[in-house]
Amino acid sequence: RSKDAGGGKFTSYEPQLHVAAEERRLLEQALRKALSNDELHLNYQPVVNADTGHLTGFEALVRWTHPELGVISPAKFIPLAEDARLIAPIGEWVLRTACAEAAGWPGETRVAVNVSPEQLHNPGFVSIVASALANSGLPAHRLELEVTESVFMRDDTGAVKVLERILGLGVRLSLDDFGTGYSSLGYLSRTRFSTIKIDRSFVIGAAKGVAEPIAIIRAVVVLAQSLGMTTTAEGVETADQHRMVQDLGCTKVQGYYFSRPLPVAEARALAHREGRERAVA
């Protein structure tokens, strides 16, 4: 392209855009094969009671090991999967795998699975959940589906109906990354969530003593209590952050301070160890 056409701009920007688009296209192609090539697996991050430190369950987090590029973060490939209409098969694989792996965990140990908005706009998702439970033998009340506020942003009547039918199966729902999206409190009264997950950004601010995030966590805790819901503080990395969210009344905590997401064998071992200690105590 000549300088006359773009004032020199295109020569510097176009190649970059081109590379990004090309990288995207290649990643998308590779992602299409990730399932059949067995390149996905799940890690499980412990969720613990804020006061006792007892394990209550795990959140399943998907991992993709690309044959050449190595492990790619879900923060990168889940949005890609959503755009490429691959989220339905990937999400179904995550759900079935998490239910199967969690079914053998002891006692009431729960498993939480992240669900993309797109999955909830498909009425067939209800029977996928039912069949994942039936095939694995996992009791419905030990499965929790995490949805974000973005589910309610576009025409939400379809998604709300799907969520209602999922609740009818006895599965729990939690509202993920609370406070980061378009907050409208209306859907909190319309849909029966068990847990509100308070985003890490508030945890960080609160532990620094910033007034607004402290006020927001306090208000969310009161709101949750009055609606019969619990609260989980996300991304707790330090003892100070733990102390702060515990003081503010959060029910559960999750974060690197307690544990990184674990390979399935380590999660299973932890669940059994906790189960034994609790039985003795």
Query: Closest approach of Cβ 117 to ligand C2E, in Å?
Result: 9
From candidates 92, 101, 146, 149, binder to Mg ion by CB under 5 A: 146
Burial 4-28 (b: 16+ CB within 10 A, else e): eeeeeeeeeeeeeeeeeeeeeeebe
What span, in angstroms and rounded, lies between the C-alpha atoms of 162 and 143? 16
From the list Mg ion, ligand C2E, none, pick the one residue 213 interacts with, judged by a Cβ distance below 5 to 8 Å according to partner type: none
Return d(Cα 25, Cα 27) in angstroms, integer.
Answer: 6
User: Comparing C-alpha atoms, which of 134, 199, 198 is closest to residue 171?
Assistant: 134
Question: Residues 164-203 vs Mg ion: string with x where CB under 5 A?
Answer: ------------xx---------------------x----
Binding site for ligand C2E (CB under 6 A): 45, 61-62, 73-75, 78, 91, 94, 114-116, 146, 176-177, 234-237, 255-256, 261
Binding of Mg ion at residue 144 (CB under 5 A)?
A: no
Measured from the CB atom, the residue of 30 and 145 that comes closer to Mg ion is 145
Q: Is 101 in the site for Mg ion (CB under 5 A)?
A: no
Q: Provide φ and ψ at 241, rounded to 5°.
A: -65, -40
Structural tokens at position 17: 């855009």
Which residue lies nearer to Mg ion by CB, 114 or 191? 114
Strand ranges inside the chain, DSSP E: 40-49, 55-66, 70-72, 110-114, 143-148, 172-178, 195-198, 230-233, 252-253, 262-263
Q: Is the CB of 17 or the CB of 153 nearer to ligand C2E? A: 153
Closest separation between CB of residue 57 and Mg ion, Å? 12
Which residues of the chain form contacts with Mg ion (CB under 5 A)?
A: 114, 146, 176-177, 199, 234
